[in-house]
Amino acid sequence: MFTGIYCRYNGYFVMRRISIFGATGSVGQNTVSIIKRNPSAFDVHAVTGALNIELLAQTAIGLNAKVAVTSESNLLDHLKECLKGTGISAKSGRHALMEVAADPVDVSMSAVVGFAGLELSLEMARHGQTLALANKESLVCGGALLRETCDRAGTKLFPVDSEHSAIFQALNGEKLSDVERIILTASGGPFLHSSFAEMADVTPIQAADHPNWSMGKRISIDSASMFNKAMEVIETKELFNIPSDKIEVIIHPQSIIHSMVGYKDGSIIAQMGPADMCGAIGYALYWPNRTDAGVERLDFATLSKLEFCAVDDSRFPAISIAHSAMKQGGIAGAVFNAAKEQSLDLFLENKIKFLDMADMVAKTVQATATFGNCEASSMDKISKADKWSREFVLNLVEMSE
Ligand code: NAD
Ligand code: MG
């Protein structure tokens, strides 16, 4: 019987076969560092990346992987060159990624960034025993479809996002029917104390400078605009199948409490730890056991305070936009995500300002009805919504020029 990722079966530890999608990214490299702490616990099948071929090859060699895949077909020769003489097979392109996602493994780590991760997560869910999910876009755009795919294949779905890992841990052994509320914590990002006027002119470099967490550039900017938290509210609803009105967000600048579950007897169970993604990744990789993933220990004597305050909706409207997307349901989650991704691209290209991003997403989500909202029941429907939403944002920008 499969009882976890690093199984203790009749007293023996069983090695787990793993593939890491997005291995060259922030979550991917943290995953690599956890595996390297105890290499005999994992048999690495595939590692994937995009542009950083040297790091992809170095990761594949360091983990003794069987195959390395880049999403970029024009970089295959470079990858082959870097892997020459190692016996590691090199592949490229979307088709190869999908093929490798279907290879049977015990654990698939889904850590590609953005909408590109959804189709891959679905393929991993069809073929893996455990899906360790960092790609939150998968749940925001296709939560019901992903859950259904996991159920049909008997795949276990584990959250890697730190808040959702915290909720998962706080729900351990409890009944969902006893849950009164889920409280997601948010650091508040680099602009927590900035005025609206100050936020108007911030640059992508300032926005990517997260005070607590070290993450990829896109998610760091999403944290500054609170779009990351907005995504996480939808992620919570989809992952735990919980009504959106039971999900709250509270600013907690120290990022020590990673999230909390409130029960109907008034008790709150919180999960705490340093702001280090290795905690949540290690938990997903080793469940039901725990491992030392190299996370620093909290020293309560030196922790001077844990602060909390409400989210200022006027400066950070992203969460209320997420609520209107959840109210609409169907493909509105995919529309929300695509508008957010497209606006972020435009901000990174200096074509729109930081605060314009929320404006674009709000207008696009509002217009979902004109596109014809429908169930997000297939990849095809979700992809169409994604495309429509991106085009809608581009048209908005064109009209304003
Ligand atoms: P990142 O940008 O650091 O890494 C992204 C990875 O995806 C890289 O390996 C990159 O090569 C690959 N990639 C990019 N575009 C691709 C494409 N089109 N096809 C295939 N591969 C592609 O991102 P990250 O910060 O590690 O985040 C990964 C995912 O995890 C995101 O969905 C993010 O929201 C989520 N997440 C990240 C953190 C964090 O600490 N970084 C925390 C929680 C959740
Ligand atoms: Mg998070």
pLDDT tens-digit series, residues 313-367: 999 999 999 999 999 999 999 999 999 999 999 999 999 999 999 999 999 999 9
SS3 375: coil
Ligand 1, closest atom to CA 215? 41
Q: Specify the pLDDT at position 213.
A: 84
Minimum CA distance residue for ligand 1 atom 39: 215
8-state DSSP, 295: P
Question: Which residue carries 């755009």 as its tokens?
Answer: 141
Ligand 1 centroid vs 27 CA: distance in angstroms?
7
CA of 184 to the centre of ligand 2 (A): 9
| pLDDT at residue 2, rounded to an integer | 31
Name residue, tokens 């069987």.
66
**Distance (Å) from CA 182 to ligand 1 centroid:** 26
Q: For residue 350, what pLDDT is reported?
A: 96
- Express each pLDDT in 158-185 by its tens digit: 999 999 999 999 999 999 999 999 999 9
Distance of alpha carbon 217 from alpha carbon 223, whole angstroms: 10
Neighbours of 107 (CB within 10 A): 25
Ligand 2 centroid distance, CA of 99 (Å): 29
Give the strand order in the sheet containing 16-21.
Answer: 89-92, 67-70, 42-49, 16-21, 107-110, 130-133, 156-159
Angle, helix 356-366 to helix 227-240, in steps of 10 degrees: 40
CA dist., res. 42 & res. 185, Å (int): 32
Q: Taking the model in full, what pTM does it have?
A: 0.95
- Pair type for strands 130-133 and 257-263: unpaired
Contact 146, 136 (CB under 8 A): no
The runs of H, that is alpha helices, within 64-191 are 76-83, 93-101, 116-127, 137-153, 162-170
- Write down the residue that tokens 């409207």 correspond to: 317
Q: What Cα–Cα distance (Å) separates residue 208 from each residue in 232, 269, 397?
A: 18, 31, 23
Residue 6 above 50 pLDDT? Answer: no
- One-letter identity of residue 68: A
Distance, CA of 91 to chain centre: 25
Give the ligand with the smallest distance to the CA of 344.
1
Q: pLDDT confidence of 214, banded at 50, 70, 90?
A: confident
Distance in angstroms between the alpha carbons of the first and the last residue of the chain? 61
Q: What value does the CA radius of gyration of the chain take, rounded to a whole number of Å?
A: 21
Residue type, 394: L
Of 19, 21, 27, best ligand 1 pocket probe by most atoms within 8 Å of the beta carbon = 27
Are 100 and 19 in contact by the 8 Å Cβ rule? The answer is yes
Q: Which ligand is nearest to the CA of 22?
A: 1
Q: How far is the CA of 170 from the centre of ligand 2 (A)?
A: 16
Ligand 2 centre distance from Cα of residue 313 (Å) = 19
Q: Is 299 helix (H, G, I), strand (E, B) or coil?
A: coil
Which residue's CA is minimally distant from atom 18 of ligand 1? 116
Look-up of token digits 């609803």: 237
The pLDDT of residue 395: 97
Which ligand has its closest atom nearest to the C-alpha of 185? Answer: 2
| pLDDT tens-digit map of 47-78 | 999 999 999 999 999 999 999 999 999 999 99
For ligand 2, the distance from its centroid to the CA atom of residue 397, given in whole angstroms, is: 29
Q: What's the confidence (pLDDT) of residue 13?
A: 53
Residues lining ligand 1, Cβ inside 6 A: 22-28, 49-50, 71, 111-113, 116-117, 134-137, 161, 213, 215-216, 218-219, 277
**Which residue has the CA at smallest separation from atom 32 of ligand 1?**
135
